[in-house]
Amino acid sequence: MIHRVLNRAKDIAFTSWLSNFWMAKNKGTILSFLYHRVDHRSNNDFLTKGYSPVISPENLYLELNTLKNLGVNFLTFDKIGEYKLSGNNGVGIIVCFDDCFKDNYEQGFEVLEALNIKATFFQTTALVDSNTLIWEHALYWFVRDSSSDKHLKHVAENYYRDNRPILEKGRNFSGMDWVQFLVHQAPLEDAEALVQILMNDGDNRLEQAEIAKNIYPTLKHLKKAFASGHELGTHGHQHLRRTGVSAERFEEDLKTSKDLFESWGFPGKSYSYPFNSYLKGDENISKKYFEMVATVDSKPITRNTPMSQLPRFTWPGNSPNQFRMRRWLLTGGI
């Protein structure tokens, strides 16, 4: 309780007249704000439950308009070098999206256009024009309601008993616990094997094809954003968690994504790590394909920040009041 009161008191320091003080503290740096889906929470509930923080178009407009009124300089990742060289001593802001569903190119795009702000779209390339859900989204879909949750629990328990009996700790997992374990901890091959087994039911395949069509973007969406001056970066091909795959598989995924970008006519100079998951030395792999690499390490980008390690702040969720919102926008924290 005391903590909450103190935290609330800190919010009050972000009244609009104090904004100039906070803005002065950010001078000469770039803050990059990371959003994911732009939609109303009730849509595609199976994704919302699983992982993806969703901002409504109205709130995205409110946040970006607040920044705009503070007189910041909006830029994109591919312009960082140029911006640094220009010696601009104002506050730089990069708005970006990871994953990039259809909603980013529809509602998200409309908000950006209304405010005339250019952003970076970090696209998971396997989503584009896909008629299947990628492994991660398929897993969330496989626990979309209580009966499917039970089914996945059963399949996962059998799989682990037969293949990895050493992983005893899964024994009391619900289906969703299994999914969280598969997405965030297990080797990717386990997740892929489970999806394969569950997909053997032909109805799942058909239903997922329908969902993929509804939630994933088309190449046309990407081309429209690119033609409007937004940057298209890649977020890898299959949204792999680096700690779940070998260096070879990681590199192959980057290369697939980069090759697709080239075939689509996008320079694709920037990349962001899925799950913010990377290992020491990965920059030696990623720099073969990309000039700018983004993390989610919650720091401003300064003149000395290496291009292979550009930190971003991830959206903390809806703010309960305008002071909290300003605090997020002015410091990247809450």
Under the rule (CB under 5 A), what is the footprint of Zn ion? Answer: 98-99, 274
Residue closer to Zn ion (CB basis): 98 or 190: 98
Q: How far is the CB of 51 from Zn ion (least distance, A)?
A: 9
> Which tokens hold the place of 170?
């899964």
- First-to-last alpha carbon distance for the chain, in angstroms, is 16
CB of 103 to Zn ion, least distance (A): 14
Cα–Cα distance between 208 and 186 in angstroms, integer?
23
Q: How far is the CB of 269 from Zn ion (least distance, A)?
A: 19
Instruction: Closer to Zn ion by CB, 57 or 274: give it.
Output: 274
**Cβ nearer to Zn ion, comparing 99 with 253:** 99
Q: Whose Cβ is closer to Zn ion: residue 175's or residue 274's?
A: 274
- Percent helix / strand / coil, the chain, rounded to 5: 55, 10, 35
Residue 195 Cβ, how far from Zn ion at the closest point, in Å? 18
**Which one, 277 or 322, has the nearer CB to Zn ion?**
277
- Nearest-10 crossing angle of helices 146-163, 188-199: 120
By beta-carbon proximity to Zn ion, the closer residue of 98 and 149 is: 98
Contact 72, 93 (CB under 8 A): yes
Least distance to Zn ion, CB of residue 77, Å: 15
Residue sitting closest to Zn ion (CB): 98
Conformation bin of residue 97: beta by default, left when phi > 0, alpha when psi is -120 to 50: beta
Give the nearer residue to Zn ion in terms of CB position, either 66 or 124: 124
DSSP assignment of 31-62: EEEEE-EES-TTTTHHHHHHT--EE-HHHHHH
Q: Give the shortest CB-287-to-Zn ion separation in angstroms.
A: 20
Gyration radius of the chain over CA positions: 21
In the complex, least distance from residue 180 CB atom to Zn ion, rounded to whole angstroms: 15
Q: Which is nearer to Zn ion, 98 or 253 (CB)?
A: 98
In whole angstroms, what separates CA 183 from the centre of its chain? 15
Shortest Å distance, C-beta 235 to Zn ion: 6
Question: Looking at the chain, which runs of residues are DSSP E strands?
Answer: 30-35, 37-38, 54-55, 73-75, 92-99, 120-123, 231-234, 270-272, 292-294, 313-314
**How many Cβ atoms sit within 10 Å of the Cβ of residue 69?**
10
Residue 218 is classified by DSSP as P
